[in-house]
Amino acid sequence: MSADEFDPMIERLFARTPQMADATLFAAEVETKLQSSTRVRTLALTLAGVVGGIIAVRESMNVNLNLTGSQAPVAGRVIGQGIQSASLDVQGAVASGLSQMGLADMTLGSMGGMQLFWITAGALIALAAAGVMKLSQDV
Amino acid sequence: MAKSLMDHHDVELAALAAAGGRREFGELVRRHGSAVRSLLRRMGAQGAEADDVAQDAFLQAFEKCAEFRGDGTFAAWVKRIAARLYLKRKAKDARYVAGIEPDQEEVTASPDQAGLVDLDEALKTLSETERLCVSLCHGAGLSHPEIAAAMNLPLGTVKSHVKRGLDKLRARLSPDSGQSGRATHVG
């Protein structure tokens, strides 16, 4: 047999493979590994998100912004006023939402602007962590 | 009525797997797992090792599934991944030292009960490097330059190994060799 005839024959022989008896078991093992690696990744990303969020919150609380103080630079005062007005906006939006739901009596007045800021920040971190988790599952 | 997984073409399943479909990828593993495991055994991997590498290859394929464009077959794509993984593992284990390892003593293939010698038996008559080169070339579909790069061997050496390996297989498998009768393989 010449090489020209033999090479295609070898390729055909390599291409022909028996279906192994434990093919289904092998596929199940691969699927299990895929599941567990996804779970590990999700857990790692969630942990990283939570740890990062905690560190970010802790660092933010340690910063004494005093942004509206008279000695703060102009830019700082502007940012501080922006945060305060945003907090008030959120407070107003929540209050109007509650009044529409018939919960107008529930007072938010005791909640200061900074408290609302931290609650919003916490909610955003939780949203970001959830988004990262969802992304990791999609990838 | 929705198509069952078995009705999907490999390219469709790969696209669904690229979007995170583990069940779809599982179907691809069921279809092509045996082919990948057989190739690794033909390259010289032992049973459990071959299965480990095959699993790793499929896991890697799942991660890279978006890169599969359907230019070739899915099986060929995973085989290439598996072959490269096996070579890396061999290099890491230092069981394989490119270019300087002594050729194994050649094994004489023993005819099976029907008096026939199949490809797997015939491959055992090749040296380790010849077997790897022939399997990478004709089983995994790598070109000679790709094999040379993957095995860190000169191109000429790879060509020689492939030629010598094929000569031995031809002597063993050719119908007119008088030794093997014909090659058998379950399709």
B44 touches chain A (CB under 8 A): no
Q: Give the C-alpha separation, B186 to B135, whole Å.
A: 18
Amino acid letter for position B91: A
Q: The dihedral of CA B85, A45, A33, B78: what is its sign?
A: negative
Q: Give the C-alpha separation, B10 to B7, whole Å.
A: 10
* Among A residues 5-24, those touching chain B with beta carbons less than 8 Å apart: 6-7, 9-11, 13-14, 16-20, 23-24
Which range has the worst mean pLDDT, A100-104, A128-132, B66-70? A100-104
Q: Which pairs with CB-CB distance under 8 Å and at least 24 residues apart come from A106-114? A: A113/A83, A113/A84, A113/A87, A113/A88, A114/A87
Per-residue model confidence as pLDDT tens for chain B (187 residues): 567 777 888 888 999 999 888 889 999 999 999 999 999 999 999 889 999 999 999 999 999 988 888 888 999 999 999 999 999 998 887 555 555 454 544 444 444 444 344 788 889 889 999 999 999 999 998 999 999 998 889 999 999 999 999 999 888 887 666 544 444 444 3
Cα–Cα–Cα angle for A124, A126, A129, rounded to 5 degrees:
110
Nearest residue of A to residue B174 by CA position? A1
**Could you say which of A9, A17, A26 has the minimum Cβ distance to residue B51?**
A26
Torsion of CA B52, B55, B56, B57, to 10 degrees: 120
End-to-end C-alpha distance for chain A, whole angstroms: 51
Residues of B in contact with A38 (CB under 8 A): 22
List pLDDT tens digits, range A63-91.
655 555 555 566 666 776 776 777 677 66
Of B99, B172, B177, nearest to A13 by C-alpha is B172
pLDDT reported for residue B34:
93
Q: Which pairs with CB-CB distance under 8 Å and at least 24 residues apart come from B69-77? A: B70/B10, B70/B11, B70/B14, B72/B141, B73/B10, B74/B10, B74/B11, B74/B13, B74/B14, B74/B28, B74/B32, B75/B10, B75/B31, B75/B32, B75/B35, B75/B36, B76/B140, B76/B141
Cβ of A14 within 8 Å of Cβ of B139? The answer is yes
Mean pLDDT calculated for residue range A24-48: 87
Q: Do residues B181 and B109 make contact, with C-beta atoms less than 8 angstroms apart?
A: no
Of B95, B66, B68, B92, nearest to B80 by C-alpha is B68
List the structure tokens of B149: 């790069």
Of A11, A56, A39, nearest to B173 by C-alpha is A11
Mean pLDDT calculated for residue range A28-35: 90
Q: Give the C-alpha separation, A9 to B89, whole Å.
A: 30
B102 touches chain A (CB under 8 A): no
Of B181, B167, B168, B88, nearest to B124 by C-alpha is B168
B101 to chain A, closest Cα gap in Å: 26
Residue extents of the structural domains in chain A: 38-138
Cβ of A26 within 8 Å of Cβ of B33? The answer is yes
pTM score of the predicted model: 0.63
A51 to chain B, closest Cα gap in Å: 27
**Could you say which of B19, B30, B187 has the minimum Cβ distance to residue A16?**
B187
Q: The dihedral of CA B38, B42, B44, B46: what is its sign?
A: positive
Enumerate domains of chain B plus CATH numbers.
7-96 (1.10.1740.10), 103-187 (1.10.10.10)
B19 touches chain A (CB under 8 A): yes
B134 touches chain A (CB under 8 A): yes
User: How high is the ipTM of this complex?
Assistant: 0.73
Cβ of B30 within 8 Å of Cβ of A11? The answer is no
Mean pLDDT calculated for residue range A27-52: 86
Of B113, B95, B98, nearest to B150 by C-alpha is B98
A40 touches chain B (CB under 8 A): no
